[in-house]
Amino acid sequence: MLRATLKSHTPAVKSLRKTLVIYVVIGTLLPLLLVGVVTYSSIYSILSGKIGNGISASLRQEAVSLENAVDNLDFASKQFALDGQIVEEMSSFLQEKQIYRKSQIMNSINQKINLVNFTNPYIGLTAYIMPGSDDPVLFTNMSTRRNFDVSSLPTFMRYNGADYYGPHNTMYAVGDNLVFSEQRIVRVTGQQQLYIYLETNYSLLRKIFNQEAYGMKVNHLLVNQQGNITNVLDGKLPAQIVKAAGGSSTRTHEELGGYHLFRYESPQGWKLVSVVKKSVFNSEIYSWFYKMILLALSTLGFAGFLAWLIWKRIYGPLRKVNLEIIRMAENVTAPVSFTNVEEFDFVLSNFQQMKDQVNELILAVARNEKQKSQFEIEKLLSQINPHFLHNTLNTVQWLARLNGQKEIDKLVTLLVKVLHYNLGKQSIIVTIGEEIEAIRNYMELQRIRYDYEFEFNVQVDEAVLLAAVPRFLLQPLVENSIYHGLSDNGKVDVMITAHGTAEVQLCVIDNGAGTDPEMIEQLLSDNGAKERGLGIGFSYVTRMLRTYYGEQMTLLMDSKPGEGTTVTIIIPRKNKEDFDD
């Protein structure tokens, strides 16, 4: 009964090959399907937005070019109609009776017309006209048609005091290009009604409305200032689209009757509309969709072949990796045998590195055991040497007292205290009171050494005397003040105060020679400070502060050449038990 129970709970054995084929097919097709489904809407939005933005940008560029063409006509017409000299000459021409004088004025006017046209390359036909007369064209830079009649031209807008027409066929006698034209009245002396007539360059509209700028088939509709006339510039469109383009809608983009309409409303009063068929607009989206279907079908056929190929490439190396794992348990020092497959060889390489590290650790443990006794001896010697030095100094101290050498007695007493603090076995964490006592002894030694050439003052807030700090925090700072900052009549001040409720501020101030910013940066760096005498240097201070306070501490140095140096440390206020010494 027990055997039957165990057999019934034995897990069914599955073929790795079948599992691999299923996983590869699912892993290949499912992400593709999910990506296709999830990203279709995004791709549609991105592509339609890209195409729409491209059409809008091209439309805006065309409209700006057309606005510039209108502005060029406006500028040139004002030269002809408002310039005092040419208006005066036109008035004189109309009133002059002498043929010779009239011909002279005519030559001058023609020269001015040619000059203005030469300096305005976007201007085409230019003419002074008198509507209603037998020959309405007085002056022109090109020959005009015999049936020249501005009143028959399609009205476009009125802008800056002038009437604009178009687009229409040019009035140039031998041309048939579409142009825009302008007519502006010229205020001459007398009762005559004189106008200046200007057309855009014969090829300007063809350059402005260029299909290549869109990369697809686009129709243009131009709506005049009144909004009741629509001009189809290229091709034919359904009547409802033409009507909608000329309507009062202010939407910059809309879909209507299988077309996309993009509008631009000019501040000059007219509208330009680009019309694109939906099939043309969505051509890139359709192309992406067909490619995704083709990719899915190709992936389905490739997945099976890929699964079989992976199986062949995995099974053999996998057995070899398993063999190396077994060998590793039996013989740690034996080198691994690689499979010539990069991924498996990478795993085997890590196994080899692990073997090497295990062997190195075994050797390291053996070396450490041999060195352990040597370390114990060195530790004992490091304790004996300070002890011997203290005993020797105590002997010197008693001899000085017996012989009445008070100064030597004082000097040795201070030195013993300094050595006891520096070389003693007490904790690395001390109170500010202990640090101040040690620095006073050290500075008294320095004053004796320098024959009392400098003053030393300590001001400590009693509220922070029991706050804990690392040992030797102040000694390197005052030591640098003595060695690098002081001269005759020098002064070193140590000020320790509470900084807020949770911090302590320690300042070392001297009135020495000061230093430059480059030297300050060097001193504050880890390798910039040099050890001198009993001091440990700025490198010790910075490392100690970073070790015990991290980002909670602040170390500042303010110095100017000739004005002294101030070193400020701001640290959190802690007790001894707050440190893990």
Topology classification of domain 15-296: Beta-Lactamase (3.30.450)
pLDDT for the residue 118: 82
CATH code matching the domain that covers 446-579, chosen among 3.30.70.360, 3.30.565.10, 1.10.3720.10, 3.40.50.80: 3.30.565.10
Q: Are strands 490-499 and 454-460 parallel, antiparallel or unpaired?
A: parallel
Q: How many CB atoms lie within 10 A of CB 105?
A: 18
Residue 7 confidence (pLDDT) above 50? no
Compute the residue count for the chain: 581
**Rounded average pLDDT over 216-235:** 78
Q: Residue 507: which pLDDT band, with cuts at 50, 70 and 90?
A: very high
Is the pLDDT confidence value at 380 over 50? no
Q: Please say if the pLDDT value at position 54 is more than 60.
A: yes
- Given this model, what pLDDT does residue 521 score? 75
State pLDDT tens for residues 561-574.
878 888 999 999 98
3-state secondary structure of 385: helix
More confident: 94 or 46: 94
pLDDT (mean) for 121-130 = 86
pLDDT at 425 over 70: no
Tell me the two tokens of residue 549: 């306070």
DSSP string computed for 304-356: HHHHHHHHHHHHHHHHHHHHHHHHHHH-SSSPP---S-HHHHHHHHHHHHHHH
Per-residue pLDDT at 553 exceeds 70: yes
- The reported pLDDT for the residue numbered 505 is 94
- Out of 9-13, 96-100, 239-243, 419-423, least confident range: 9-13
In this predicted structure, the answer to whether residue 418 has a pLDDT above a threshold of 50 is yes
Residue 503 has pLDDT above 90, yes or no: yes
CB atoms within 10 A of CB 511: 20
- 177-217 pLDDT tens trace: 888 899 998 888 877 788 999 988 877 777 777 766 677 78
Mean pLDDT of 159-166: 89
Tokens of residue 342, six digits: 């990069």
**Backbone phi and psi for residue 574, each to the nearest 5 degrees, phi listed first:** -135, 160
| DSSP code for 460 | E
Among 122, 276, 118, 117, which Cα is nearest to 207's?
Answer: 122
What is the residue extent of each domain of the chain?
15-296, 446-579
Beta-sheet pairing, 219-223 with 194-200: unpaired
